[in-house]
Structure 1
Amino acid sequence: MEAESQLIGQGPKVLAQVRHERILEALARRGAVSVRDVASEFAVSEMTVRRDLIELEKEGRLVRAHGGAVRTSKAIDAAPASSIDREEPVFEARLTRNLAAKHAIASAAAKVVAGAQTLAIDVGTTTFLLTGLLLDRPHTKIFTNSVRNATQLASARGEVYLPGGQMRRAEMSISGPLAVSQFEALWFDIAFVGVSGITAQGIYDYSFEDTEMKRVYLRRATKSVVLCDSSKFDRMSLVHIASLQQFDMLITDAAPRSDLAAGLAAAEVEVLIASRTNDGAGPARG
């Protein structure tokens, strides 16, 4: 805002050039920017920022994605186009993808819960299936930023908590500084985190809005568990959530391959392979 005020009187074209330069500087430092953050910094509308991003994408200087943009780095340029998910499919479409695998993962996750009394459950399709298996737990407190999860848990015997904040309508998730600060003050026995992709470099998500809460779950849990079906192996999307070293367990439906398997082993992540045939889980792998 201060930078913008110093340039008043220089005309809209100059101001747009300054925004473009600052956006590119932020991309160079962080790898990604959000429309909301840029609009707040320059005291302009989000529509203005989206136009800036469109112009910069036409020049080949960034890649637009849901809620913001990522830089055109060597890592992204070198990756096959099919390995980068730039747009977030709607919840209902995601729910039907690899449904048998997701049911198996959810069943294995429900067994991991065991005697835990405070659970954090992230937004996502597999986490949504998990909540449906946790209705009969009278002494459990469940914290979630998903309105879908909370609605499904309405008949649960345990206690269910949602944070305050802004709801992202498409995902029905609660996010923002208030939500983050409320859950940052808590400590969970187990946190279950959903992701859009996983590589040897870490875990990814589509949305800036939801990512900070995922990081809260990872930080504030005695045991942090990532739920990810094997179709998401070696795939990236807009936001890098965390490295492999920042969570404790991966529950999936197939053994990770090559570099990913080596990265998980080096990070000492326990890998639990869920069985699709008997809703059990295979032996854990380090």
Structure 2
Amino acid sequence: MVSPSETPDSNVTESRSETGRRLPVELRQAHIIEQLRKTGFVSVAEVAAALAVSEMTIRRDLIDLETEGRLVRTHGGAIAPEGTAALAFDREEPAFEQRLRQNNAAKEAMATVAVSLLGTRQSVAIDVGSSAFVLAARLRALPSIKIFTNSLRVASLLGRERRDVYLPGGEVRGDEMSMCGPTAVAQFEQLWFDIAFIGAAGLTEAGFFDYSLEDSELKRVYLRRSSRKVLLCDSAKFNRLSLVQVAGLDSIDMLITDAAPSGELAEALAKANVEIRLANPATITS
């Protein structure tokens, strides 16, 4: 019989092995603050792995540090408080039509580069978002590829051309017009794509970010199930954060953007072996 003091409780107790080797709380929290200083964001999972402690331990540290005003907790981690971070944090997702107009020349140029990567008879995964939609318009000239997307806008645009376009089942997410939820994730997890084009709300040394928990799950499916992972991200999104960290830089193979990253972001991309393809908006004519 197990005594009350021996009853397992993941919210209260930790493994003996962790307790024996755990760093003092002051050192753990100093590590967290140092990571925030460097990148503006920390991931619970990454810090827990680096310090060989449980994620619950790190979450408690984040709660304490937030109480002291030294960080702001987000889904899966924390960011530096406003006014102290070199990175910008975007809390609200702009309307799709607004995003489509922003930096449109850069997105058109990025789409030109993205199309050049495609061959015949490939299976292509396309994310939601304005950059993906601009790319989809270019794909109408490529009848021999199969398109898989969770964007109803992309599917409608390409479906008019009677191409092979596939949507997952599931729930529809509001203004973004995206398919999401467990059914959509499960269906696309059964497939394998030659290449995936993924959008982002922001890009930092820590990885790339999105506004939506639901859409982020499908982005991760594309990362897991694609031979080649390409991030479409214009330079206006460099050093910006939003609610969800989708993945680290080492999860992508290529970044297509309109201006070369610089400083620590450039160093982090190089360290992660991310190929950078530059798109020149000046070459796009109306």
Name the TM-score, length of structure 1 as normaliser: 0.72
The code of the aligned residue for 1:253 comes to: D
Q: 1:138 aligns with which of 138, 143, 165?
A: 143
Which residue does the alignment assign to 1:162?
A: 167
Segments of 5+ residues of structure 1 without an aligned counterpart are 4-26, 32-56, 281-286
RMSD: 2.7
Report if the CA contact (8 A) 1:135-1:155 is conserved.
no
Which residue does the alignment assign to 1:16?
A: none
Matched, 1:222 2:220: no
Q: 1:271 aligns with which of 261, 267, 276?
A: 276
Matched, 1:200 2:170: no
Which residue does the alignment assign to 1:249?
A: 254
Closer, same or farther in 2 for the Cα pair 1:28/1:158, shift >3 Å?
closer
User: Alpha-carbon deviation of 1:158?
Assistant: 2.7
Report if the CA contact (8 A) 1:191-1:218 is conserved.
yes
- 1:128-150 per-position Cα deviation (integer Å, ceiling 9, x unaligned): 00000111322211000000000
Matched, 1:236 2:244: no
User: Alpha-carbon deviation of 1:187?
Assistant: 0.4
Report if the CA contact (8 A) 2:71-2:80 is conserved.
no
Aligned residues: 225
Q: Which shows bigger deviation, 178-187 or 156-165?
A: 156-165
Separation in 2, partners of 1:232, 1:28: 20
Matches within 5 A, 1:1-286: 70=75, 73=78, 75-76=80-81, 78-80=84-86, 83-115=88-120, 117-279=122-284
User: Alpha-carbon deviation of 1:248?
Assistant: 0.3
Closer, same or farther in 2 for the Cα pair 1:73/1:220, shift >3 Å?
closer
Report if the CA contact (8 A) 1:136-1:157 is conserved.
no
Which residue does the alignment assign to 1:50?
A: none
The code of the aligned residue for 2:152 comes to: V
Separation in 1, partners of 2:45, 2:108: 35
Name the TM-score, length of structure 2 as normaliser: 0.72
Percent same amino acid at aligned positions?
52
The code of the aligned residue for 2:209 comes to: Y
Report if the CA contact (8 A) 1:137-1:157 is conserved.
no
- SS of alignment partner, residue 198 of structure 1: strand
Report if the CA contact (8 A) 2:43-2:77 is conserved.
no
- 1:162-185 per-position Cα deviation (integer Å, ceiling 9, x unaligned): 000000011000000000010011
- SS of alignment partner, residue 229 of structure 2: strand
- SS of alignment partner, residue 163 of structure 1: coil
Which residue does the alignment assign to 1:22?
A: none
Separation in 2, partners of 1:123, 1:177: 17
Segments of 5+ residues of structure 2 without an aligned counterpart are 1-8, 10-41, 47-65
Separation in 2, partners of 1:258, 1:157: 45
